[in-house]
Amino acid sequence: MTRSATITAALFVMAAATPAIAAPVAVKNVVIVHGAFADGSGWRAVTDILEKDGFNVSIVQEPLTSLEEDVAATQRVLARVDGPVVLVGHSYGGMVITQAGNDPKVASLVYVAAAAPAEGETAFGLLSSLPAKSTGVAPTKDGYLFLDPKVFQADFAADVPEATTTFMALSEMPASVKAFTTPVTNPAWKTKPSYGIVSTQDRTINPDLERSMYKRAGAKVTEINASHAVFLSQPKAVAAVIEAAARATK
């Protein structure tokens, strides 16, 4: 064997013996915005997974009183985060991240069984355009929306244990009609990379509506066989999409 061939062979063996280095994570911060009829506490399992994998997680507990105030609550959390962010929104939270995602810290958006509106669209208009199976949402006299506790598990979280959904129904977060009827003015998905999770058994937002909104937004789509509360029933799958968004964003 010639000297050059010997050197080449040695380099090949060294390269083969060197362990592969994982691709660096471009974004280490995740901010999560919950949707209507629930609060941020349901994201505990997803948060635990993300933190174990080295991410810094913040949860926005928005008041659900108006789109403007919910966006402001999200911006308040973003202001406290050091560095770029993957901004995650569930359900109505998708309306919020679509507007709040214009913050320069936001590197990408993740829609989890969520509304992804275009300019001028409202949550109510989108949900009415392709209705879901649930008919359990009703307004209160003072302008808020509640999901009937009798159908909470079936319509919101059919694949979540009954003991959990019973408590969720007791602690339900109502959303204002104002929040559902205020249009988005500047969709962040026009300029930010987007990811979308379709819950194929969703009874709160029609899965076909999720698909059409995500397609319009140019989102990378993942379909999960789950209820609207996919973050509760499939936390590993949801966390995997969020981590993929973080790794892909440069």
- 51 within some domain: yes
- 46 within some domain: yes
- 86 within some domain: yes
Helix pair angle (93-100, 67-80), 10° resolution: 60
- 121 within some domain: yes
- 130 within some domain: yes
pLDDT higher than 50, residue 17: no
- 9 within some domain: no
Closest CA to 189 of 214, 152, 222: 214
- 30 within some domain: yes
Look up the domain containing 121 and give its range: 24-248
Burial 147-173 (b: 16+ CB within 10 A, else e): beeeebbebbbbbbeeeebeebbeebb
Range with the poorest average pLDDT among 16-20, 69-73, 83-87, 229-233: 16-20
Mean pLDDT score, 180-204: 98
- 241 within some domain: yes
Sign of the dihedral through C-alpha 53, 235, 70, 60:
negative
Which CATH number covers residue 142? Answer: 3.40.50.1820
pLDDT of residue 26: 81
Instruction: State the pLDDT confidence band at 249, using cuts at 50, 70 and 90.
Output: low
Mean pLDDT score, 126-154: 95
pLDDT higher than 60, residue 24: no
How many separate domains does the chain show? 1
pLDDT of residue 51: 98
* Rounded CA separation 123/88 (Å): 17
Q: SS3 string of the chain? A: CCHHHHHHHHHHHHHHHCCCCCCCCCCCEEEEECCCCCCHHHHHHHHHHHHHCCCEEEEECCCCCCHHHHHHHHHHHHHHCCCCEEEEEECCHHHHHHHHCCCCCEEEEEEECCCCCCCCCCHHHHHHHCCCCCCCEEECCCCEEEECHHHHHHHHCCCCCHHHHHHHHHCCCCEEHHHHCCCCCCCHHHCCCEEEEEECCCCCCCHHHHHHHHHHHCCEEEEECCCCCHHHHCHHHHHHHHHHHHHHCC
pLDDT higher than 50, residue 31: yes
